[in-house]
Each structure stands twice: as structure tokens, then as C-alpha cells.
Amino acid sequence: MTAQPFSAPAGDVAGAVAGRFAAAPTKQPFIRATEIWVPTADRKQLELGAGLYGPLRAFEAVSQQTQFGYDEGLPGKAWAAGHPIVLKDLTNSYFKRGEAASAAGLTCAVALPIFAGQFLIAVLVLFCGDDREHVGAIELWHTPPGSVEMGLVDGYYGTADALEWNSRHIKFMHGIGLPGRVWATAMPVIMEDLGRSRQFLRWADAERVGINHGIGIPCGREGEGTWVLTLLSALGTPIARRFESWIPDADHGGLILHAGYCEHAADLASVYRGVVVPPDGGLLGHVWRTGAPALASELTSEPAMIAASTAEAGLTTMVAMPVIANAAIKAVVAWYL
Amino acid sequence: MTFLELDGVSKSYGSGSGRSEVLHDINLRIDRGEFIAIVGFSGSGKTTLISTIAGLVQPDAGQVRLQGKPVAGPGPERGVVFQSYSLMPWLTVYGNVALAVDAVFRNQNRAERDELTRKYIEMVGLSHALERRPAELSGGMRQRVAVARALAMRPEILLLDEPLSALDALTRAKLQDEIVQIWERERKTVVLITNDVDEAILLADRIIPLTPGPRATLGPEFKVPLERPRDRTAMNHSPAYRGLRKDITEYLMAIGNTRSAAHDETLAAPSVVPISVSKAPPKAYRERADSPISARYVEFSKVSKVFPTPKGPLTVVEDFSLTMQKGEFISLIGHSGCGKSTVLSMVAGLADVSGGGIILDRREINSAGPDRGVVFQAPSLFPWMTAAENVALGVDRVYPHVSRAERRDVVAYYLDRVGLGDAMHKRASELSNGMKQRVGIARAFALSPKLLLLDEPFGMLDSLTRWDLQEVLMEVWSRTQVTAICVTHDVDEAILLADRVVMMTNGPNARIGNIMEVDIPRPRTRTALLEHPDYYRYREALLTFLEEYEQAGSAGGGGKSATGAKKAA
């Protein structure tokens, strides 16, 4: 089938990025705030580029007034470390906005630095909280250079204790399980129906707590082993109701859908069959063009097919980030609520 | 009304000073439709007990009554299934079952007897194998024929004497499920003899231990408070299951300790250092092997094993990569045929590596050698030699630089550590299976190997002897801290022994699925393990993995798994 390019987006990405005062989604989300920290013009500091805060206005206000130096605060630490960081103590640590986070009920943060080679593009920060209410998981897996096993560095699991215990005691081999498959392919991997998926080896725990879909994303600075971030989402308190992975297609000069899962659309592959997102095509195109993550709290200005599909699925927010290897975009990952 | 009663049953064999009382004052009441499990040790008289109920053996004292009438001999109302299938090798599956049906229902016409025969063959899922002879059947299928034959006699009570003990874990699980289904459908009274506590809990209404012989008698009964149907993985979450399992295990261990051989705590380890028979590799080789992997004591790097077959090469193990630290104990777990033992054979140097390589202490493995001690399922001792002579064979070879007395000390030390201090001068042919395996363990440790390899070392032993030997193994290991790999399909054994459990996917093309770290402090004991808050989590993680691959096996292998089929439904 011939791929069809999107029409130009109705609104500019800047508008989407600027539209960071997002309304709270109807379901109680697992991730309560998402931030993108970008280097300042002199590249000495990190400043807030965009954020999705839902009702956490006070925390947002504090964030807007904050900047981080290299190795300072959570975003600065992630910049210095060169790999994602899971921080579960926001009040008695290097975390600078502890008081505001505590007031907002936030208990855990995950910082994901995005590099092009050795150069930082941005730091994506995800916040979780309301631990007793939430089921889901954000996990960080790592294998040092030359190692044959991938183990958990840390993770946040809400109430999914059994899954957490299992993850902390299990090491995955190259190509096995969600982290192992991301490691083997060096590409984002989306898995659905995790409670029944034989390839998701922790299926029994996932089934028990209601986690049913997830994504694994390769990340971290090149040459420092392999890092994989996994987002495991439950229906009740979703991290995302849709995951997508788009890859550049040289033949058509745009992004094509590589993999996807949506709670509402039975088959995303057929929804987006033949669709090509050009470099100027909405948030996805923006991420591909700039190599920087972006988010949007309003999707009507996205390219027509995406706007229509997300509207039909009742999705209102979107986070997109690049997967970069050898200074090139290998994929653009997006998740929606 | 009580269906089966045993009143003060005792039984002795022999005469004069050689007379041995096997059963002593056995009292038991079983109601109609009950499922009773009797758990006990090897040689405790379990088979004598079942034979007494079956009427094959007459008690010296006391009485067995079935529905109030004394049992005077065998009868068709009692169906018996023994561990050995006892099938007629020249008869087909149909013929073996029909033999019993024709004998018991000789008054019925041929069509009726044919219908009965086919009905019970179908019940055990062997309709497709009607015309096969025993030699053409697997162990599990043969045991099914034995079950069908017993059922086809329409007995009032089914007496099962360790019917599943000789089968592999997967087949065993499947037959356990079938036995429960048949029991629920036919509502027979069942007495199951087993040495497997989990099997007893899964199947029975009541569990009654038989104390070790001689003078074996029944211990206190344990009621099983678990709802049916029972799921062996889900049971791990039940506090009632955990409590019952702990109580029974501890009771059996306590009475088992009374029969364990005592060893001399005062004997100290000889202070002699072994040498390797081979010379150290050349400097150039060492430098080549050193590099970044020198800190890794054992390294499997993309190891594969390919066997030639008439249909072309068969890759049994593929891309097996693993690193081990010095002093680490690893359990290798997976289903039958997944290539576990193939991996062990390759690291032992008994089988060639088809691809990749294995490095032990900076040397690539390319042949067998005394730097690797191996314990196989069968101990393979020279039967005409004593235990000490069997151990000394290897010791003399790896410690040629020390005096004969010192070498004798090494042999004595390890035989004593495995509880054979008093039996070291007995010939191997005079030893029980459990004692032989103790010699096998002593022999492997006495070599002071760089790597200890255990291939289902306790697979042929009953659970209780197995527990004993696991403790022995751990005790000796704790003193030597030798790097070790143990192949097993027993999840409890895997957890008890290991720092890490390596789980293998199904073959062909088997590889490591994932690895579980066991953070349970050492020294470990079975009792402490049962009380550890995370024990059942470890157990469930392994069972879930095995169940997953059991399903995979059944999907590809034509309905191998009962639990898999249940889940799929």
C-alpha cells in the first residue's frame, strides 16, 4: 500500500508545547506530572521547557521558577550520570523541590536524560505519588558493558509489591522478556496483554495486579552499557492508554508506525496503515526534526489522522521522545492519556 | 460408616535373631470416598502396609477389615497400582487392561467387557494407543495403563503405592491431575502411598505419616483444609497450605533425624593442598585468557551444542551465556529435555562444545579433568571396592605430593562429613542408594575441585533421603565454598542450594530464560527456609516460569500439560 503523507498540522508544535497547563485526565493516572527540562542558551543550566501537571498548580509554579546546574537536583544529576535515575526520596535528598513535591503528594520521580552522543538534549522527568492508590510500574534496567545479564537498577511500583519483588530478584538475558527484547533490538518494544503474554516473563504478577500493557525504551548515554526504561500500565491507573513507536522511513521521507497498543483501537497498525508523518507533522514530526522530547495537552491540532484517532479514543494528552543512536533518530516513542 | 479399618496391625519378616518387625500396631480408619495419603521414608514398610490392605500379605497381629469384614486375601474390590507398572510386555494396552477385566467380570458377555476395557483406557487418555505394547510406551503412559487396569476392575478402593515416584516432574504433575479427576468422577476411596509432601497436599483429604522402620507405625494425621480444585501454583498464596506444608515437613524431618547417621564433629579438615594434574597453561595462553574476563571464574560464552540426527543437525542448546563468581552456587532448572545436563556435560568436558566456549579459572575447557568434581544421579561406584577405596581413587591422583596418611585423612574427612564415618570400609554393593550417593558427594568434594558439578544428584532418592543429603551437601559446601552448578528440576532444591537459579527455556534451541537471585542468608536449613518470609515468593517465581514453559511445551508438543490446558481453557 502506498503511504500517504499527513496534511500539515493545523497548529504549530510550539502551541502544543506551550499548552502545558493540562487538565487532569478522567482516570487517575499513574504518572501525576511530566516535565521536560532543556539546557539554557549557554548550556550551563537546565530550565523547564514544558510540563503536564494536571491539578498540581503549586508544584508547577515552583518548577517554573527553578533551574538546575550540572549534577544539581534530579535533572542535573541525570545529566551528569548519563543514564536515567529513579529517586524515591524527594524530601531528604538532593531533590530541590522537596517541600512542593511533598505538598503535592509526589513521592517518586524518574529522570530520563536524552543524549545525542555525549550532548544532552533534554531531561524528561516523570512524577508518581498516591502510592496506596496506584498500580503500575516504572522500571530502570541496566547491563554493564560486556555483561550477559540485565538487572533492575530501581523501580517504582505503586501497590504492585509482588511484581516489584519479582523484578528485584530476576535478571533477564539478551532477547528474553521485555527488558531483554529492548536490549537485543536496541529499539522500543511495546507489549500488550502482559498478564497472558508468554514473552513477558513476569506475567503472573502482572495478571494479579491488573497490569496489562507496557513499553520498554532504550536510553542512556552511548558506551556505558545498555539502559532500558520500562513503563508498565494498568487499566485502572494507567501510565498511558496508548503507546506508539514510530520509525523513520527513508523511502517515504517520514515516520511510519512501527508498533502500537491502544486500549480503545483494536488494531493501531490498521488505523495508521499507509500513514506517513512528515518532519513538520505535529508533535511526532517535531520530535523527529529536533531530536528533543515534547508534550501536548491538546491533540486537536495534531495531524488529521492522529487528531481523529486520539479524539475517537478519548485521549487528551501526549508525550513524545526520541530514541537516538549514532547521532540519528532510530524511533520516536509516544504515549497518550 | 468406616469403610476400611486397620486394628493393631503388625507384621514381621524373618525368624529368630534375624526377625525384624516392619509394621507395628497400625491403626487406621478410612471413610468411603476419602482420599488418604500416607507419607513415609524409603524402607519404612509402606509397601508392606499397602500389600496388607490389598490382602497380599497377612498381618502377624491385628486385623484389616473392609466394610466390616476381615480381609483374608486379594479381592477385586481392591485395585492396586505399584510403582513398577507390572504390565505384560507381550500384551497391548488393550490386552493388559482386558486381562484384568476378563478375570473379574467373567460372567459378563464379550461386548460388555470390551466396553468396560475401552472406557477406562479412554479415561486415562490412551485410546490412541490401544494397540501399542508396553515397550512402545513412555513411563507415564505405562503407569496410566496400570491405573486403567486397576480402575477397570471397578474396585471399591484404589491402593496406589508410589505410582508416580519414577516419573519426571511434568508427567507426574499431569498424572496427579488425572488421578484427582478420576477420583472426583468415580468417587472411589483412595489410599495413596507417597514420599512427596506436595503431592500428598495436592491430592489428599488427610495425610498420615508412617514413621521410619523397623517397627514403623502411623504418626499423627494432618487434615488438608484446602478447597478443591487445588492449583499447585496458586496454593503458594494460601497460608493454610504453607502452614500445613511446614508442619508435615518438620514432623518428617524430626522423625527422620532419629535415623540419620551421626558424624564425628571432632575430625578436622586435613591441611593438604591439592594440585591439578595438568600443568598450568603456557604464559601466552594465560595472557590471552586473562583480559577483561579474568575476574569471572566461570564463563559460558555463547555456548551451543548441536547433535547430528538423520533429519539433519539438531541444536539442543543455543547461545548459552553465563558468568559465575568464584564460590558461587548456581542451580540450573528447566523441564526434562531442555538441555540442562548437556550444559553440565560440556562444562565437565564429557561432551564437546559445538559453538562458543567455556572458561574455568582462565583456562578454556576442552576435556575432562579432576579440577571438576561431578556427581551424577547414579553414583557409579565400583561395587567391589569399599566407600573409602572409591573415594581414594581420585584423591590419590590429585594429591600425589602428600603422604599416604594425609591422603587417607582427606578420604576419612569427607566420608565422615557425609555421615559415613562408620561405613567407610563397607563395599559399595552393601550400601543403600542414599549411602552410595553420599559416597559420590564425598568423592567429588575430596578432589577439592575448582568446580563442582551436580547432575540431578538426588533425583533417584525419596524426598526424605533427598532432604538429608541436601543438608549434607550444604554442610560440606559451607566448609569448602567450592564454585558449584547443580542441575535439578526440583524448585525447592534449587532455592535451598543456590545463590542464583538459572532458568532454562525448553529445547531444542534451549537457552537461559532468566536468572533469579536468592537472597536467603547462609547457612540454610530446610526449616529456616520454610519460615523465610520470601520463600514462597521464590518458589512461585520458579513455578510460574516452569508452568509457562510447560504451556509452551504443550502448545508445541501435543498436549503435554494438564495445567497448561486448564489455563488455556
CA separation for the pair B81, B142 (Å, rounded)? 11
B169, pLDDT greater than 90? no
CA distances from B431 to A59, A225, B376, B409, B447 (A): 75, 54, 17, 22, 22
User: What's the confidence (pLDDT) of residue B231?
Assistant: 87
Report chain B residues whose CB lies below 8 A from the CB of A171.
500, 514-517
Q: Which three cell numbers stand for residue A252?
A: 517515504
Please check whether residues B439 and B308 belong to one and the same domain.
yes
Q: Which of B293, B519, B545 sits opposite A201 (nearest CB)?
A: B545
Beta strand A275-276 with A4-5 is: parallel
Percent of chain B scoring above 90 in pLDDT: 40
Is the distance from CB of A280 to CB of A31 less than 8 angstroms?
Answer: no
Helix (H, G, I), strand (E, B) or coil at B216: strand
B553, pLDDT greater than 60? no
Q: How far is CA A290 from the centre of its chain?
A: 17
Instruction: List A171's β-bridge partners, or say none.
Output: B515
Top residue of A201, A203, A205, A209 to mutate, by most chain B CBs within 10 Å, is A201
Report the chain B residue with the minimal C-alpha distance to residue A175: B513
Q: Which of B514, B537, B538 sits opposite A177 (nearest CB)?
A: B514
ipTM over 0.90: no
Sign of CA dihedral A168, A174, A175, A181: positive
The DSSP symbol for B376 reads: -
Is the distance from CB of A238 to CB of A27 less than 8 angstroms?
Answer: yes
CATH number of A28-129: 3.30.450.40
Neighbours of A65 (CB within 10 A): 8
User: What's the confidence (pLDDT) of residue B551?
Assistant: 55
Residue B224 belongs to a domain: yes
Instruction: List A141's β-bridge partners, or say none.
Output: A152, A228
Range of the domain at B149: 33-55+72-257
Mean pLDDT score, B241-258? 87
Please check whether residues B232 and B346 belong to one and the same domain.
no
Window 508-567 of B: residues touching A by CB (8 A cutoff) are 511-519, 534, 537-538, 540-541, 544-545, 548, 551-552
Q: Which three cell numbers stand for residue B108?
A: 459378563
Please check whether residues B233 and B322 belong to one and the same domain.
no
Length of chain B: 569
Instruction: List B320's β-bridge partners, or say none.
Output: B303
User: What's the confidence (pLDDT) of residue B438?
Assistant: 87
HSE-up (13 A, CA, CB side) for residue A326: 2
Residue B344 belongs to a domain: yes
| H-run or E-run covering A243 | strand A242-249
Please check whether residues B242 and B299 belong to one and the same domain.
no
Please check whether residues B235 and B383 belong to one and the same domain.
no
CB contact under 8 A, A166 and B537: yes
CA separation for the pair A188, A229 (Å, rounded)? 10
Q: Which of B515, B519, B540 sits opposite A149 (nearest CB)?
A: B515
Strands of the sheet with A226-234, listed across from one edge = A189-192, A211-219, A226-234, A135-143, A149-158, A170-173, B512-517, B500-504, B329-333, B483-488, B451-455, B372-375
Residue B78 belongs to a domain: yes
Last residue of a domain, one of B257, B279, B308: B257
Q: What CATH number corresponds to the domain at position B237?
A: 3.40.50.300
Residue B304 belongs to a domain: yes
Residue B243 belongs to a domain: yes
Is the distance from CB of B54 to CB of B65 less than 8 angstroms?
Answer: no
pLDDT means per 10 residues in chain A (337 residues)? 38 36 54 94 95 94 96 96 92 90 92 93 91 82 91 89 89 90 94 69 71 89 89 85 94 93 86 92 94 94 92 93 92 94
B283, pLDDT greater than 50? no
B371, pLDDT greater than 90? no
Residue in this structure with the C-alpha cell 527455556, named with its chain if needed: B505
B554, pLDDT greater than 50? no
Residues in CB range of A62: below 8 A, 6 or more apart: A97, A100
Q: Where are the domains of chain A?
A: 28-129
Top residue of B236, B511, B514 to mutate, by most chain A CBs within 10 Å, is B514
CA separation for the pair A263, B445 (Å, rounded)? 58
Please check whether residues B87 and B213 belong to one and the same domain.
yes
Please check whether residues B246 and B384 belong to one and the same domain.
no
User: What's the confidence (pLDDT) of residue B433?
Assistant: 79
Residue B377 belongs to a domain: yes
CB contact under 8 A, A174 and B538: no
| H-run or E-run covering B360 | strand B355-360
Does residue B370 have a cis bond before it (omega within 30 degrees)?
no
Confidence category of residue B471, pLDDT binned at 50, 70, 90: confident
Please check whether residues B228 and B100 belong to one and the same domain.
yes
CA separation for the pair B149, B143 (Å, rounded)? 10
The DSSP symbol for B510 reads: B
Please check whether residues B436 and B510 belong to one and the same domain.
yes
Q: Which three cell numbers stand for residue B533?
A: 518470609
CA separation for the pair A238, A28 (Å, rounded)? 7
CA separation for the pair B464, B253 (Å, rounded)? 7
Strands of the sheet with A294-296, listed across from one edge = A254-262, A242-249, A328-336, A318-325, A294-296
Please check whether residues B226 and B135 belong to one and the same domain.
yes
CB contact under 8 A, A171 and B517: yes
Which of A11-20, A312-321, B35-44, B434-443 is predicted least confidently? Answer: A11-20
User: What's the confidence (pLDDT) of residue B295?
Assistant: 60
CA separation for the pair B552, B559 (Å, rounded)? 10
Mean pLDDT score, B116-129? 88
Please check whether residues B102 and B218 belong to one and the same domain.
yes
Q: What is the separation, in whole angstroms, between the first and last Cα of chain B?
A: 39
Tell me the pLDDT of chain B averaged across its residues. 84
CA separation for the pair A190, A206 (Å, rounded)? 15
Q: How many domains does chain B have?
A: 2
